[in-house]
Structure 1
């Protein structure tokens, strides 16, 4: 073949599937053509100025040998190229990947302590097992070695740890540090090796005050002094969470309309929540104007700081009510609403800012049932005040 002198564009066969390809621009390169599953395929073997005829023939021979063994040369080359980044990343450890994953996602986590929780659980349980092994070497055996010792005794921690390991390994795969299935995947994998959480973990509910005792408790709460007592009563009347109450700012309230709008960043479901305020709840907020200092409705001891997230719990301890929790008042409200009222379930759940688990139902639930919730919360406040007056 007069390969150096040929300039006319086209394909020039050398035999055995090897061709010299000349483009319209005059670029010359080697091409191996073959049939696979009834389809014609072409695999580039390199440019003429780098690959001579002898080497091109040798490469074509290698391709024919692969085909003889039932292997597609193009698929074989692609698989080899895909494995190269992993081979080059053999020194990248799981710990290094975890650190990079946490840093990459830190800004998106709503709780500043979330990154610390990730770091602490992975450092405590995963690092001693994975040690300094490359992330590409983490397999099911190693993952099970991390999870099995604590799956039955610290089920919640183990479950979160598994999810975190899975996320880091997924990140490492996308970055090219490993290949293959994720050994920390639960569904269809680890769930066949580990017992169900429901079998080994007891559901622990926040101790809640029976709703029949709410009025008496609120009456006692009225005798307590300080911001924490006001915040706790407000929390009870609005059925909200601790961080939502202590983080409340004056700008979030429209007292004329009786609405408190909690922004996305403080909501567990990452969705803005409008809270209808009863007359008593509005009165509590207005009373806080007398101690107003800064942006927070329930200010802490330090300037420009909100009430501590432990303040209401410590108040319960001073009241010698260690038998209940602050969060438990949400359960108290839900029990009262479900057992003594005729409000629909969706209204009661919306009052607690619970998400709708059924995706089809959620797709049609566009409104927030505010008017109905307003009536519900007014009844809830009236229940406590009326019963309290009789006691």
Structure 2
């Protein structure tokens, strides 16, 4: 019995609304699908054919909005005719897609991918410093070797050429750079700019070629001021002039991180409650941190009040806070290159442990450290604010002694 052809009509194509495949004959089907959320119907043409290898294939030939019934029938005849001569339209489409991927990969350099990655992710980073670190390490260490190379062509030897010169001497930077290279190359693979394994992957890969970070070089902790030298240092710091030294005092008196202090805003300060609330997006732990302000910290705020309507410590550029280099420059002017701003958090922690009777958890809360013990964290609901207020006042008084 001969196959029935041309079962459908143009009117039927418009009126059929039942989900499924509706045969026209000769391997052509009207395929009706429904959006799972909106239940909106979509109609398209599907051709079923059997190439010389005997494996039944299906391929779409367009939406009914773009391809008429007559055109779909013509495409069906062409596909079936080519199939008899050995051509496989599905394989041909796949080859076209693969070639398009190859062309995209060949046109994208590592530098272009790195720039696109940073632009795509910078909105999720907590501060501008993070973007600056990404941009600078890629520009300084990676781009001289990889910048102009097609991202598809990057291999392990190229990655090693970037990392080898700094792995022993700048281990922390090299380790972070490796992670950034891995992220960029993973992004490029997802975007189909490259295929294959990630040559910057550490686990089960580069860990076999490079010494572990803790074995490559002893970790150098932030330089901290000895407890007994702290009062004299604060006395000299108070002698410095300008917004930078005042911001530095505020950071030390509140045991805050540099990024938290320099970006402080007036709408975060409560003068009545004598507190400073740092929003979650600026905190390392990603949660709101309320800071009790000592008498000395309040004096700093009064000294800068009125300089800017938004930022507590405004920079030279309008609408911007001071630079994250301000504290470093202050230390240089004081001829204390042996110290770091972050190290004063360690000085504070040592002082609280060795010179006071405050509980360990009070000092940890003042530093906004995350409780590593999950069971303890679950039971400790409060922020020990009033106890921290007494601790920070004692810290300020010690700096005046």
TM-score by length of 2: 0.72
Aligned residue for 1:337? 352
CA distance in 1, matches of 2:57, 2:189: 28
Are residues 255 and 277 of structure 1, via their aligned partners in 2, closer, same or farther at CA, if it must alter by over 3 Å? same
- Structure 1 residues 66-109: Cα deviation after superposition (integer angstroms, max 9, x where no partner): xxxxxxxx9x8997676344223233222222222223233433
Secondary structure of the structure 2 residue equivalent to 1:325:
coil
Show the counterpart of 2:164.
148
Cα deviation for residue 111 of structure 1 reads 3.5
Residue 199 of structure 1 and its aligned partner are, at CA, apart by: 1.0
Partner residue, 1:293: 307
Change (3 A) 1:56 1:152: same
Picking from 331, 348, 354, the partner of 2:363 is: 348
Shift of 1:237: 1.8
Q: Distance in 1 between matches of 2:162 and 2:260?
A: 36
Please, which of 279, 282, 294 is the counterpart of residue 295 of structure 2?
A: 279
Contact 1:273 1:353 in 2 (8 A): yes
Q: Report the counterpart of residue 207 of structure 1 in structure 2.
A: 223
1:192 counterpart residue number = 208
- Counterpart-to-counterpart distance in 1, 2:345 and 2:303: 24
1:233-258: CA deviation from partner (whole Å, max 9, x where unpaired): 33322111334333333322112212
Is residue 2:78 matched to residue 1:50?
A: yes
In structure 2, the partner of 1:375 is 390
Change beyond 3 A, Cα 1:164–1:305? closer
Q: Note closer, same or farther for the CA distance 1:282–1:117 as it changes in structure 2 (3 Å cut).
A: closer
Name the SS for the 1:52 alignment partner: helix
Q: Distance in 2 between matches of 1:300 and 1:24?
A: 66
Judged with a 3 Å threshold, the aligned counterparts in structure 2 of structure 1 residues 320 and 119 are, in CA distance, closer, same or farther, namely closer
Asked if 2 retains the 8 angstrom alpha-carbon contact of 1:86 and 1:136, the reply is no
Match in the other structure for 2:35: none
Tell me how far apart the structure 2 counterparts of residues 119 and 304 of structure 1 sit (CA, whole Å). 23
The alpha carbon displacement at 1:328 in A equals 1.8
Question: 2:342 is matched with which residue?
Answer: 327
**Partner residue of 1:38?**
none
Distance 2:396 2:121 in 1: 41
The answer to whether the Cα contact below 8 Å between 1:20 and 1:28 also exists between their aligned partners in 2 is: no
Q: Is the 8 A contact 1:267 1:273 kept in 2?
A: yes
2:194 to 178, 192, 212: 178
Q: In the comparison of the two structures, how many residue pairs are matched?
A: 358
Q: Over aligned residue pairs, what C-alpha RMSD do you find?
A: 4.0
TM-score under structure 1 normalisation? 0.74
Gaps of 5+ in 1: 12-18, 34-40, 64-73
